[in-house]
Structure 1
Amino acid sequence: MELGILEQMAQPKDKSAEETVADTIEMAQLAEKLGYGRYWFAEHHATKGMASSSPEIMMAAVASKTSKIKVGSGGILLPQYSSYKLAAHLFQLQALFPGRIEAGVGRSPGGGERIRSLLADGKPSQLDDYPEKLRDLITFLSKSGKVRAAPRTEDSPELFSLGLGENSAKLAAELGIGYVYGHFINPSRGEAAHQDYRDHFKEGYLPKPIQRSAVFIICGETDEHAEELAVSQDIWLLRVEKGLDSRIPSIGEANKVMLSEKDKKKIQDNRKRMIIGGPNKVKRELDQLSNEYQCFDWLVLTNIYDFKEKQQSYRRIMELYS
């Protein structure tokens, strides 16, 4: 089993953005010591509660404070940006940190229409142009491309497309790039998506398929301890989806939240996107999901209030597979 971390930089309610960034760098350094293979950064905008808005900058910051762990994006919002400029950013990172750069890109608008328009400098939506922009990015990153971005490093970063179902999997496969399935967003299409990626992969930018999945995991000392920790993530995610204050509440605050029957049902549905339990339960459920997907390379998200508990959760997860 290969394990990495997908970092949204979810911000606890009593911490500033600056403190959250400092904690993130500390977490990445610990992840390297624990043996995690990669540390990826999401891209989110127009939210108080997620401090990762520029994956490329966080990749550079973490790579400069570590020595071997790979850093990546999960994922850069390609439809809003120039494929050429993104290729240049990635090559610059590759020149600084050879062999440690992985690029994950996605089709998301990054927020509502106002935010999408601001990111794209007022240009009309280019979400439908994602396949074309992805092909352009591959060209600008490829040694054989007619136009290659600079600096022209010896090797190019590995490239992945993020997705939530069969269509995104087939696109990545046909373009010969890696694929990351977002189980933490949509847990219902993973098996079919991974199967389609394997079935349709054509050698291209990558010589062989690389498939990953991303999932929320909270690993406590026991199942009961994990449930205690999970309440802050439950309420955080509920508020994120409602467009409310998306900073992570303390366990005390989360336990006091008055929940409607609809809220309780939503939290229960969201649990399908997560693995929550003590070490035995976490390993059993992650192994089962890996076998269902035939995917043994995972990016883990843990968005709980207490930073020390978050560190211990990641430690326990890695110890299951050391």
Structure 2
Amino acid sequence: MKLGVLDQMAQPKGVSAEETAARTLELAQFVETLGYERYWFAEHHATRGLASSSPEIMMAAVAAKTKKLKVGSGGILLPQYSAYKVASHFLQLQSLFPGRIEAGVGRSTGGNERIRSLLADGKPNQADDYPEKLADLAAYLSKKGKVRATPRTEASPELFSLGLGENSALLAAELGIGYVFGHFIKPDRGKEAHDTYRTHFKKGYLNHPEQRSAIFIICGETDEHSEELASSQDIWLLHVEKGFDSRVPSVEEATSLRLNKKEQERIKTNRKRMIIGGPAKVKRELTELSERYQCDDWLILTNIYDVEEKKRSYVRIMELFS
């Protein structure tokens, strides 16, 4: 099993953005010592509790603080930006950290229409142009492209498209690039997406298919302990979806809240996006999911309040599969 981290830089209540950034660098160094292969950053805007708004900068910061850890973006909001400029960012990073850069992009708008417009400098929504922009990005990064972005590094970073189903998987397959399925967002089409990607992959930017999945995992000492830890993530995610204060609450605050029936049902539904349990349960469920998806490469999100408990969760997960 290949394991990595996808970090949204979820900010705990009472912790500043500066402290969150410092903790992130520390966590990346820590998981490298455990044997995790990669550390990716999401891109979010106008969400108070998510401090990762510039994956490229965080990639550089983490790469500079680590030795072998691969760093990536999961993912840059390609529809809002120039594909050429995005390619230049990735190639600049590749020149600084050869062989350690993984370029992940997605179709998301990054927020509401106002935020999307600000990111795109007032340009119309370009989400429908994503396939064309993705093809352009692959060309600008590739030595085979008619126009290549600079700096012209000896090797190109690996390129991945993020998605939630068969359509996104087919696009990645036809372009011959890597694919990452967002189980942590919409888990219902995972098997179909991975099957589509493998079946239709054509040699292109990559010589062979590279597939991954991203998922929320909390591994406690026991199932009961994991449920306690997960309470902060449950409420955090509920608040993110409602547009409330999306900083991560403490376990004490999360468990003290009185939830109505609709909120309880939403938390139950959101649990399909996660694996929550002690070591035996986590190993069983991730192994079963890997077999179902035919995917043994995972990016793990753990958005709980206590940073030390987060570290211990990552330790337990690695011990299960090392």
TM range (shorter): over 0.9
CA distance in 1, matches of 2:309, 2:15: 16
Q: Where in structure 2 are the equivalents of 1:82-121 lying within 5 Å? A: 82-121=82-121
Give the corresponding residue for 1:268: 268
- 1:229-279: per-residue Cα shift (whole Å, max 9, x none)? 000000000000000000000001001112110000000000000000000
1:128 deviates by 0.2
Q: Where in structure 2 are the equivalents of 1:20-39 lying within 5 Å? A: 20-39=20-39
Give the corresponding residue for 1:297: 297
Q: Where in structure 2 are the equivalents of 1:238-317 lying within 5 Å? A: 238-317=238-317
CA distance in 2, matches of 1:271, 1:144: 44
Q: 1:188 aligns to what SS in structure 2?
A: helix
AA partner of residue 22 (structure 1): A
Give the corresponding residue for 1:223: 223
CA distance in 2, matches of 1:138, 1:218: 35
5+ unaligned residues in a row in structure 2: which ranges? none
CA distance in 2, matches of 1:187, 1:93: 32
Q: 1:169 aligns to what SS in structure 2?
A: helix
CA distance in 2, matches of 1:28, 1:59: 10
Give the corresponding residue for 1:169: 169
1:47 deviates by 0.8
Number of residue pairs matched by the alignment: 322
CA distance in 1, matches of 2:31, 2:174: 33
Matched, 1:187 2:187: yes
CA distance in 2, matches of 1:69, 1:226: 27
1:144 deviates by 1.0
CA distance in 2, matches of 1:45, 1:301: 18
1:100 deviates by 0.1
Matched, 1:321 2:321: yes
CA distance in 2, matches of 1:139, 1:169: 19
Ranges of 4+ aligned residues in structure 1 off by more than 6 Å = none
TM score, norm. by length of structure 2: 1.00
AA partner of residue 16 (structure 1): S
AA partner of residue 249 (structure 1): P
AA partner of residue 68 (structure 2): K
CA distance in 2, matches of 1:139, 1:202: 15
5+ unaligned residues in a row in structure 1: which ranges? none
CA distance in 2, matches of 1:76, 1:235: 26
CA distance in 1, matches of 2:144, 2:200: 23
Q: Where in structure 2 are the equivalents of 1:17-96 lying within 5 Å? A: 17-96=17-96
CA distance in 1, matches of 2:185, 2:146: 37
Give the corresponding residue for 1:143: 143
Give the corresponding residue for 2:235: 235
Give the corresponding residue for 2:201: 201
CA distance in 2, matches of 1:98, 1:31: 20
Give the corresponding residue for 1:130: 130
Matched, 1:158 2:165: no
1:210 deviates by 0.3
AA partner of residue 7 (structure 2): E
CA distance in 1, matches of 2:113, 2:290: 36
Percent identical among aligned pairs is 75
Give the corresponding residue for 1:5: 5
1:221 deviates by 0.5
